[in-house]
Amino acid sequence: MKALRNYLDKIKPNFEEGGKLAMFRSVFDGFETFLFVPNETSKSGVHIHDSIDSKRTMTVVIIALLPALLFGMYNVGYQHNLAIGSDPGFLMTFIYGFLAVLPKIIVSYVVGLGIEFTVAQWRNEEIQEGFLVSGILIPMIVPVDTPLWMIAVATAFAVIFAKEVFGGTGYNIFNVALVTRAFLFFAYPAAMSGDQVWVRTADTFGLGAGQVVDGFSGATPLGQIATASLDSFQGVVNTIGQPISTCDYFLGLIPGSIGETSVLAILIGAVILLITGIASWKTMGSIFVGGAVMALIFNAIGSTVSMTVCPIDHWCLGGFAFGAVFMATDPVTSARTETGKYIYGFLVGAMAVIIRVLNPGYPEGMMLAILLMNVFAPLIDYYVVEANISRRLKRAIK
């Protein structure tokens, strides 16, 4: 470590103002602070600081995302094998999925971090860590067959227009990863919905080539529910027509976006986020409550197949759990007051179920529900803070 430190100290002057490589100052600084905790000491105010910083925060979120990501990779392989009717074993299944997902992660990071580095240098700021999380979220919330160029375009759009124009990490109004997803959803609808995009039937780098079996359908459970009619609906089936139940939704070996299918893996992440206190249990919990309440209301009406879906199925299907745990809890774009978090979370959950059930076009509503509530989060906070203000004013009159 000492040698590395000495090397950094040796090359550092090149990157400082007036140095040969000053144009890469932010990049150097970014790497240096990643390797070594900055040894800058406090100038004013408190003399000691908590050891948490935004790098640690983002690292914890990434660790929490890993179970869902690894499971997602396996599931990509699993769904593929189901479609072509082969069983190459656990390892090969995982490797297939890994190779299918990895390019998406690379593209998302290269494009997003490239823009971040450029903007940081341009603004003469430190590189911010926010995109480390967004960059891994993006590949996890897209269908497996999304072309890489689409991910690149959408990521660039989201990072520039949802984040940098507002001032960077901490200033954005919308969740960056969700804006990426929304951009893909509206700009390339054919590649984002329907029955063809959720299961990869082609080979990956020559691995897993095969013919699709008869009777294959790549529709997600939510897709099936949305298009079914109440009289003829026989229940949700997997890609080769076998019936599946809540337990399968929970474990996650079903078609869907890469990281969203396994509620089990997502719950592991949720536990990590809640123990470390990075995500708010208030937001997370109230999303599930909101979704359940809305689902029960629809159950009582029950005039379409969607309306009959029970609360637990709503929780387990589609991106509900993933959105609740990883997306809606983004502290920057969610409500920031504690009371506001209950309201925000409840409305996200309720909205997601309303969109799922009532909207004929979109079988899934989580993305739009969170983006919608991102808009309302400041309003919710405004009223919570306003209550404090009027309490103070009343006190003065007394």
Q: Are 259 and 68 in contact (CB under 8 A)?
A: yes
Between 189 and 378, CB nearer to other proteins: 378
Asked whether position 20 contacts other proteins by CB under 8 A, the answer is no
In the block, residue with structure tokens 């109230």: 286
Interacting residue with other proteins among 86, 191, 336, 362 (CB under 8 A):
336
Q: Does 171 bind other proteins (CB under 8 A)?
A: yes
Cα gap 313→245, rounded to integer Å? 9
Three-class SS of residue 303? Answer: coil
Q: Which is nearer to other proteins, 10 or 395 (CB)?
A: 395
Candidate ranges 47-55, 71-79, 214-222, 309-317; the one touching other proteins (CB under 8 A): 47-55
Q: Report the candidate in 235, 247, 260 with the shortest Cα–Cα distance to residue 364.
A: 260
What residues pair up with 243 in beta bridges, in sequence order?
A: 237
Is residue 62 within 8 Å of 139, Cβ to Cβ? no
* Contact flag: residue 42 with other proteins (CB under 8 A): yes
Q: Which tokens go with 6?
A: 């000495």
| 280 makes contact with other proteins (CB under 8 A) | yes
- Can residue 345 be called a binding residue for other proteins (CB under 8 A)? no
Instruction: Name the residue nearer to other proteins (CB basis): 56 or 66.
Output: 56
Is the separation of the CB atoms in 152 and 107 below 8 Å? yes
Label each residue of 96-116 as H, E or C.
HHHHHHHHHHHHHHHHHHHHH
Q: Is 52 in the site for other proteins (CB under 8 A)?
A: yes
Single out the residue of 43, 91, 149, 361 in contact with other proteins (rule: CB under 8 A): 43
Positions of E strands within 162-233: none
247 touching other proteins, by CB under 8 A: no
Nearer to other proteins, 41 or 242 (CB): 41
Tell me if 172 sits within 8 A of 332, measured CB to CB: yes
Residue 56 as a binder of other proteins (CB under 8 A): the answer is yes
Query: Counting Cβ atoms within 10 Å, is residue 26 exposed (0-12), middle (13-18) or buried (19+)?
Result: buried
Residue of 11, 31, 123, 126 that binds other proteins (CB under 8 A)? 126
Evaluate whether 174 touches 374 at the Cβ level (below 8 Å): yes
Instruction: Determine which residue in the list 135, 139, 168, 221 makes contact with other proteins, applying CB under 8 A.
Output: 168
Which residues from 183-242 bind other proteins, rule CB under 8 A? none
Is 123 near other proteins (CB under 8 A)?
no
Distance CA 393, CA 385 (A): 13
With CB under 8 A as the contact rule, the residue among 275, 301, 358, 375 that binds other proteins is: 275
CA distance 176 to 389: 32
**Under rule CB under 8 A, residue 338 binds other proteins:** yes
- Residue 165 engages other proteins in binding (rule: CB under 8 A): no
- Which amino acid, one-letter code, is at 64? A
Is 37 near other proteins (CB under 8 A)?
A: yes
* Token pair belonging to 23: 């144009």
Q: Cα 339 to the chain's mean position, in Å?
A: 24
Which of 17, 149, 303, 392 is close enough to bind other proteins by CB under 8 A?
392
Residue 37 CB, nearest distance to other proteins (Å)?
Answer: 4
Alpha-carbon gap, residue 151 to 184, rounded angstroms:
8
| Minimum distance from residue 376 beta carbon to other proteins (Å) | 16
CB of 249 to other proteins, least distance (A): 30
Q: Which stretches of the chain bind other proteins, using CB under 8 A?
A: 1, 4-5, 33-57, 59-60, 126, 128, 130, 167-171, 275-278, 280, 331-332, 334-338, 381, 385, 388-389, 391-393, 395-396
